[in-house]
Amino acid sequence: MKKFKAAFCNINPESINRVYTAEQKKRIAEITDFMPEILTPENFDTFNTAEVEVIFSTWGMMKFTPEQLKKLPNLKAVFYGAGATEYFALPIVQNGIKLSSAWQANAVPVAEFTLAQIILSMKNYFSNSWHNHITGPGCYGETVALIGDGAISRRLQNMLKNYDLKVLVVPTDLTKTTISLEEVFKTAYVISNHLPNSEFNRKVITKEMFASMRQGATFINTGRGPQIDEEGLIEVMKSRPDLTALLDVLVTEPPAEDSELYKVPNIRMTSHIAGSLNDEVHRMADYMIDEYIRFASGEELKYEVFEEFLLK
């Protein structure tokens, strides 16, 4: 396996320390010709950029200007230990530099988090108490709907194979679906949103859909807040106390102190914790270390980001 000249790069060096443990940094130093100084906007002009062949990064990756890329003439690959790359990726891939992202690693905790909420929702855990003895149908023969068929949804679909549940999947491209959003809201006992962040998906989940939900049903959102009509959701949840909304993402995070979201008892919010956090972020570093080994061994990359993905 060839050892490439490698460096960390980030606008905030603490992000590197958050995602890459001491052991993982040691491993990178063993398998690369490692440059110990972190490349940042502040030291870019004094850093020996001409030698850099491989970059490891995470949240806070620099968005290189054309002038900066000219000063990285030997850069061959960037291994991004985080998910979405849109804000910095295009100039990199358009210059023939390989880019890999740990988006699949970030899908793991979101799928786990959502699975837990689905199973508990089937029992109506979130509304049940000794004072309110509401129970759901349980996990046998019921219907779950997943909106979107990306990495998180696909992983969740595999997890749900362990349960006696019927799973409906609405494709991410809503123009190609064989089952409508309106139909899944009327049919499923639990509906979980996994659409990607896009201007085309703003408020595609409407007040009317929430109003059509089955008695006792639950809506879960770990996608993005702007994809739902939040005001419509609040209105429906006020009038339908039998329903439950579990929101890990919101239009505004955190909500304003006087937001109605705090006041409706059957809306439960978490502080955007479904994705990788604390120890889970180190999985993303492991994915990128493994990806570098494939690259240095001349093998095909598993998580490469291509230009056509970025231009969609």
Query: Do 154 and 247 belong together in one domain?
Result: yes
From CA 246, how far away is CA 267, in angstroms rounded?
Answer: 6
Give the residue from 252, 269, 286 where a domain finishes.
269
Query: Do 114 and 95 belong together in one domain?
Result: no
Residue 75 has pLDDT above 80, yes or no: yes
Q: Domain containing 247: what range?
A: 108-269
Give the residue from 236, 251, 269 where a domain finishes.
269
**253-300 tens-digit pLDDT:** 999 999 999 999 999 999 999 988 899 999 999 999 999 999 999 999
Q: What is the mean pLDDT of residues 71-81?
A: 98
Query: Do 245 and 153 belong together in one domain?
Result: yes
From CA 305, how far away is CA 30, in angstroms rounded?
Answer: 26
Q: How many domains does the chain have?
A: 2
Query: Do 68 and 149 belong together in one domain?
Result: no
Query: Do 138 and 227 belong together in one domain?
Result: yes
pLDDT of res. 310: 66
From CA 238, how far away is CA 244, in angstroms rounded?
Answer: 10
Query: Do 67 and 198 belong together in one domain?
Result: no
Percent residues over pLDDT 90 in the chain:
85
Residue 179 has pLDDT above 70, yes or no: yes
Query: Do 292 and 235 belong together in one domain?
Result: no
pLDDT of res. 309: 63
In this structure, the number of other CB atoms found within 10 A of the CB of residue 194 comes to: 28
Query: Do 100 and 27 belong together in one domain?
Result: yes
Question: Which CATH number belongs to the domain containing residue 203 in this structure?
Answer: 3.40.50.720
pTM value is: 0.84
Query: Do 137 and 206 belong together in one domain?
Result: yes
Query: Do 131 and 214 belong together in one domain?
Result: yes
Which residues have a Cβ under 8 Å from the Cβ of 303 and sit 6 or more positions away? 100, 101, 102, 103, 104, 287, 291
Sheet architecture: strand order including 33-39 = 33-39, 5-9, 54-57, 77-80, 98-101
Query: Do 32 and 170 belong together in one domain?
Result: no
**139-150 tens-digit pLDDT:** 999 999 999 998
Query: Do 251 and 161 belong together in one domain?
Result: yes
Which residues have a Cβ under 8 Å from the Cβ of 32 and sit 6 or more positions away? 3, 4, 5, 6, 54, 292, 296
Q: Quickly state the pLDDT bin for 174 (edges 50, 70, 90).
A: confident
Preceding peptide of 254 cis, ω within 30°: yes
Which residues have a Cβ under 8 Å from the Cβ of 159 and sit 6 or more positions away? 111, 112, 115
